[in-house]
Amino acid sequence: MTFKTDIEIARAASKRPIQDIGAAIGIGADDLLPYGHDKAKVSQSFIDGVQDRPTGKLILVTAINPTPAGEGKTTTTVGLGDGLNAIGKKAMVCIREASLGPNFGMKGGAAGGGYAQIVPMEEMNLHFTGDFHAITSAHSLLSAMIDNHIYWGNELEIDTRRVVWRRVVDMNDRALRQITASLGGVSNGFPRETGFDITVASEVMACLCLATDLGDLERRLGDMIVAYRRDRSPVYCRDIKADGAMTVLLKDAMQPNLVQTLENNPAFVHGGPFANIAHGCNSVIATTTALKLADYVVTEAGFGADLGAEKFMNIKCRKAGLAPDCVVLVATVRAMKMNGGVAKADLGAENVDAVKAGCANLGRHIGNLKSFGVPVVVAINHFTGDSEAEVAAVQEFVAGQGSEAIVCKHWAEGSKGTEALAARVAEIADAGQANFAPLYPDEMPLFQKIETIAKRIYHADEVLADKKIRDQLKAWEADGYGHLPVCMAKTQYSFTTDPERRGAPTGHSVPVREVRLSAGAGFVVVICGEIMTMPGLPRVPSAESIRLNDAGEVEGLF
């Protein structure tokens, strides 16, 4: 048996015109702004017009802590969406957009895999509909206006040592991480240290993904803190008067992008905030709009459930008034084996004992997710090498946790491979069992919010933070930011801050290195460990082999 690659499958897709995809969910051609023949933005007026409709069921797809064996979270999200449609339900998928820059370092990511993909794959890994370019432009405009304000007399009395607004570019460019700008004499301004992050790390991205409409976006942009004065009082984007023009630059980027799965089912692919210093979910406007167009909306969160699902619940759902009806937790037999101590090279051999031993990580995620009051189903993303005994071991373990694990073969079979999962998920969602509540109330003090996540999600003993950090949190509370949720930036590979510690560790501490206020996005970022906001390119970047072939197809991107 030979397998086709993801790109071969994607290229062979029989895509339908995007107007047909829109029509199937009630969006007329006039309300679709096409970008080519296979992608379109949904008009703001259409979105305004559906607000009074009933709301569909929301299904979150999340995963265990990632291992080098892979889990297939996006693949399962897409497969479940197709599966729901296959069993006669009206379902949509909502996922994040890909960042352009990293695709030129490592090979680009497909949106899904095998026979559970979203297309057009190449364009989604290149410029797509230009949203990230618009975010880069809006961010760059504010950057330029801050230095321009200082240049022309600095009426706002910005302390040039305390400009916290960095620049961004959607490219992996380590040379720009730390720079000295405004060199070259009087006409170029006042020299100061600054640097660039990658665009997905921009607070503009986080604002766009949490905004409910353009008015809310403008307010959030205005609320962003860009610098401090010598007396430590903040200078806002609004003071620089950049918020209006930035909103103009973002007016199209705010509209969700409609594309399709390989099975011609509708999907919104919109927004892509970093999953560490931001909340790592697709946009609120895409999710809330999809819930008005479909009976079931399947969405996902970045990283493993300890980071991604936690932020989805405590930040996105809290802020947008969303409540998930069911959570699907993706696991693989291979990942259980790695958690059970098997090396990647030995994953091919059956090892039921290792699978059993590795289930601890899965078990803890099940318990954590249930603590949000939402029913959990485990999806076993099936690999051809998985033995029946190994699969049975996972299912038995999950049953012991009061949940159930369903085998999914969407990678090889498309929607046929997820019909069982889809039926069960629909049943659970329809039953209205969920009783969602975020983990902590808005009123809880900031440091206590961090402790709550550390103890109840990471199962740590304590949070370590020196006085300076705790004083900073108290100062923000005094300034009126105490009601914000916290956004944890931590390794995705472990419940602890040590990426090597797999399984379900206990007895560890969570050291907080730094805290940052994202006043526009509306959260306090809590940094635990090294967080890279500007990646570099590898020794041999994938860009070296990316080219157009004679047929005009993109080679080397995947």
Among candidate residues 96, 316, 409, 502, the one labeled active-site is 96
Pick 187 or 384: Cβ nearer its own copies: 187
Contact by Cβ (8 Å): 282, 271? yes
Q: Got the DSSP string for 84-142?
A: HHHTT--EEEEEPPPPTGGGGTSPPPPSEETTEEEE-HHHHTTTTTSHHHHHHHHHHHH
Exposed e or buried b per residue across 335-367, where buried means at least 16 C-beta atoms within 10 angstroms of its C-beta: bbbbbbebeeeebeeebbebbbbbbbbbbbbbb
Pick 247 or 368: Cβ nearer its own copies: 247
Q: Is 73 a catalytic residue?
A: yes
Measured CA to CA, the distance from residue 307 to residue 78 in angstroms comes to 21
Q: Minimal distance in Å, beta carbon 205 to its own copies?
A: 16
Instruction: Identify the three-state secondary structure at position 405.
Output: strand
Measured CA to CA, the distance from residue 545 to residue 252 in angstroms comes to 33
Name the pairing type of β-strands 179-181 and 192-194. Answer: antiparallel
Contact by Cβ (8 Å): 312, 368? no
Among candidate residues 132, 196, 268, 383, the one labeled active-site is 383
Measured CA to CA, the distance from residue 234 to residue 163 in angstroms comes to 10
Pick 171 or 293: Cβ nearer its own copies: 171
Q: Minimal distance in Å, beta carbon 192 to its own copies?
A: 8
Measured CA to CA, the distance from residue 367 to residue 348 in angstroms comes to 29
Q: Got the DSSP string for 238-277?
A: HHHT-HHHHHHHTTTTTSPEEEEETTS-EEEE-----SSS
Q: Is 66 annotated as a binding residue?
A: no
Q: How many CB atoms lie within 10 A of CB 392?
A: 14
Q: Is 74 annotated as a binding residue?
A: yes
Pick 152 or 384: Cβ nearer its own copies: 152
Of 467, 463, 436, nearest to 451 by C-alpha is 463
Of 296, 275, 297, 295, nearest to 286 by C-alpha is 297
Q: Is 73 annotated as a binding residue?
A: yes
Q: Dihedral sign, CA of 46, 48, 49, 54?
A: positive
**CA distance from start to end of the chain:** 22
Pick 21 or 301: Cβ nearer its own copies: 21
Q: Is 75 a catalytic residue?
A: yes
Among candidate residues 411, 495, 523, 558, the one labeled active-site is 411
Q: Is 68 annotated as a binding residue?
A: yes
Q: Is 107 a catalytic residue?
A: yes
Pick 48 or 443: Cβ nearer its own copies: 48
Measured CA to CA, the distance from residue 96 to residue 104 in angstroms comes to 19
Q: Is 62 annotated as a binding residue?
A: no
Measured CA to CA, the distance from residue 92 to residue 282 in angstroms comes to 13
Q: Minimal distance in Å, beta carbon 228 to its own copies?
A: 18
Centroid of chain to Cα 292 = 22
Among candidate residues 107, 424, 513, 516, the one labeled active-site is 107
Q: Minimal distance in Å, beta carbon 220 to its own copies?
A: 14
Among candidate residues 75, 199, 288, 496, the one labeled active-site is 75
Q: Minimal distance in Å, beta carbon 497 to its own copies?
A: 20
Of 376, 96, 403, nearest to 256 by C-alpha is 96
Among candidate residues 275, 286, 305, 426, the one labeled active-site is 275
Pick 139 or 365: Cβ nearer its own copies: 139
Q: Minimal distance in Å, beta carbon 479 to its own copies?
A: 26
Q: How many CB atoms lie within 10 A of CB 393?
A: 22
Instruction: Identify the three-state secondary structure at position 215.
Output: helix
Q: Minimal distance in Å, beta carbon 215 to its own copies?
A: 9
Q: Is 303 a catalytic residue?
A: yes
Q: Is 261 annotated as a binding residue?
A: no
Pick 160 or 509: Cβ nearer its own copies: 160
Measured CA to CA, the distance from residue 370 to residue 378 in angstroms comes to 12
| Helix (H) / strand (E) containing 206 | helix 203-210
**What are the tokens at 183?**
């060199």
Contact by Cβ (8 Å): 482, 446? yes
Q: Minimal distance in Å, beta carbon 343 to its own copies?
A: 28
Among candidate residues 57, 73, 89, 220, the one labeled active-site is 73
**What are the tokens at 52?**
């009074």
Binding residue positions for ATP: 67-74
Catalytic residues, by residue number, are 73, 75, 96, 107, 275, 303, 383, 411
Binding residues: 67-74
